[in-house]
């Protein structure tokens, strides 16, 4: 079973091409409007000018949080008696909202990402669409496999957020650090659920 899990995680990473810095966003439109962004109640304040690469990193994390949320929504519907999915999908929405505020601050275009109920499981980037599909298919095998999927997503998120912090300004690092704490809590929750499922 351990070998199967290692192989699965390896295949997920390979399929998705996950790494915040691998340049998966070449086809993504980012709108940079200069070194100002919105902060507070509609006020404009000077903010650090980010390179396109760093903006792509932020946008990628934004979308990856949607992958997590959407997988948990889908698996939660499959296994309604396992409330770990329901609880963590709400937290993932907060993660999305936090990164959305960064996107607003740094004028990163996000309107092409559908966060509505009808947009669950729909991704503009082919790699993320493939990732979502692979994770959900694995989760359909059974509850225990679905919980392993949750654990694997959180490991993936932790690794990608850590990598994405490099070169970021303090406000972005602060948000990413909060995301990391949340992902670490989610990882622990899935590990506890896996242990319950084994008994």
- Whichever domain contains 67, its CATH number is 1.20.1260.10
What's the confidence (pLDDT) of residue 46? 61
The angle subtended at Cα 148 by Cα 17 and Cα 25, nearest 5°, is 20
| Confidence grade of residue 136 (pLDDT, cut at 50, 70, 90) | very high
Name residue, tokens 């990473």: 13
Residue 83's domain spans which residues? 2-12+51-198
What's the confidence (pLDDT) of residue 124? 83
What's the confidence (pLDDT) of residue 42? 45
Instruction: Flag whether 25 is in a domain.
Output: no
What's the confidence (pLDDT) of residue 47? 65
What's the confidence (pLDDT) of residue 100? 97
| Confidence grade of residue 9 (pLDDT, cut at 50, 70, 90) | very low
Q: What is the mean pLDDT of residues 150-164?
A: 97
In this structure, the number of other CB atoms found within 10 A of the CB of residue 47 comes to 17
Instruction: Determine which of 11-25, 58-72, 113-127, 183-197 has the lowest per-residue pLDDT on average.
Output: 11-25
For residues 8-25, b (16+ Cβ closer than 10 Å) or e, as one string?
bbeebbeebebebeeebb
Name residue, tokens 């694997």: 152
Q: What is the mean pLDDT of residues 27-55?
A: 58
If one compares 198 and 93, the residue with the highest pLDDT of the two is 93
- H-type alpha helices, 17-142: 52-78, 83-105, 126-139
Instruction: Flag whether 38 is in a domain.
Output: no
Tallying the residues shown for the chain, one arrives at 199
pTM score: 0.79
Instruction: Flag whether 36 is in a domain.
Output: no
Instruction: Flag whether 101 is in a domain.
Output: yes
With beta carbons less than 8 A apart as the criterion, state whether 120 and 74 touch. yes
Instruction: Flag whether 157 is in a domain.
Output: yes
Instruction: Flag whether 137 is in a domain.
Output: yes
Instruction: Flag whether 114 is in a domain.
Output: yes
Q: What total number of domains does the chain contain?
A: 1
- For residues 119 and 123, give the distance between their C-alpha atoms in angstroms, rounded to a whole number: 8
Instruction: Flag whether 44 is in a domain.
Output: no
With beta carbons less than 8 A apart as the criterion, state whether 60 and 121 touch. no
């Amino acid at each position: 079973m351990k070998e199967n899990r290692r192989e699965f995680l390896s295949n997920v990473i390979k399929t998705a091409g996950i790494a915040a810095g691998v340049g998966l966003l070449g086809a993504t439109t980012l709108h940079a409007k200069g070194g100002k962004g919105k902060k507070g109640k509609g006020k404009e304040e000077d903010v650090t000018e980010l390179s396109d690469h760093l903006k792509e990193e932020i946008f990628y994390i934004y979308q990856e949080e949607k992958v997590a949320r959407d997988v948990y929504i889908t698996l939660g519907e499959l296994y309604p008696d396992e409330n770990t999915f329901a609880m963590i999908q709400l937290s993932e929405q907060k993660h999305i909202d936090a990164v959305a505020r960064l996107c607003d601050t740094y004028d990163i275009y996000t309107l092409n990402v559908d966060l509505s109920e009808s947009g669950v499981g729909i991704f503009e980037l082919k790699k993320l669409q493939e990732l979502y599909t692979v994770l959900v298919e694995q989760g359909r095998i059974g509850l225990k496999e679905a919980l392993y999927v949750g654990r694997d997503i959180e490991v993936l998120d932790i690794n990608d957020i850590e990598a994405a912090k490099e070169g970021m300004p303090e406000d972005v690092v602060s948000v990413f650090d909060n995301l990391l704490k949340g992902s670490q809590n989610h990882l622990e929750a899935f590990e506890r659920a896996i242990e319950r499922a084994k008994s």
